[in-house]
Structure 1
Amino acid sequence: MSKLEIFDPAMCCSTGVCGPSVDPDLTRVASVVYSLEKRGFDVTRYNLSNDPGEFVENKKVNQVLQEKGADALPVTILNGEIVKDSSYPSNDEFSDWLQVDAADLKDKPQTRVTIDIDKL
Structure 2
Amino acid sequence: MNKVEIFDPALCCATGVCGPSVDPELTRVATAIFLLEKKGYDIKRYNLGFEPAIFVENKEVSKVLHEKGPNSLPITLVEGEIAKIGTYPTNDEFAEWFGVQTEELSEKPKPCLTIDLKPSK
TM over 0.5: yes
Greater mean alpha carbon deviation, residues 79-88 or residues 104-113: 104-113
CA RMSD in angstroms comes to 1.9
Identity %: 57
Residue in 2 that maps onto 1:83: 83
What is the letter of the counterpart of residue 74 of structure 2?
Answer: P
- C-alpha offsets along residues 6-42 of structure 1, whole Å, 9 cap, x if unaligned? 0000010100000001000000000000110111101
Q: Distance in 2 between matches of 1:57 and 1:110?
A: 39
Q: Distance in 1 between matches of 2:108 and 2:81?
A: 28
What is the letter of the counterpart of residue 43 of structure 1?
Answer: I
Deviation at 1:107?
Answer: 2.9
What is the letter of the counterpart of residue 24 of structure 1?
Answer: P
Structure of greater Rg: 2
What is the letter of the counterpart of residue 33 of structure 2?
Answer: V
What is the letter of the counterpart of residue 64 of structure 2?
Answer: V
Contact between 1:36 and 1:43, CA under 8 Å: does it hold in 2?
Answer: yes
Please list every run of 5 or more consecutive structure 1 residues that lacks an aligned counterpart in the other structure.
116-120
Residue in 2 that maps onto 1:118: none
Residue in 1 that maps onto 2:56: 56
- Normalising by structure 1, report the TM-score: 0.88
What is the letter of the counterpart of residue 15 of structure 1?
Answer: T
Q: Distance in 1 between matches of 2:18 and 2:57?
A: 28
Deviation at 1:94?
Answer: 1.1
What is the letter of the counterpart of residue 107 of structure 1?
Answer: E
- The aligned length equals 115
Residue in 2 that maps onto 1:46: 46
- Normalising by structure 2, report the TM-score: 0.87
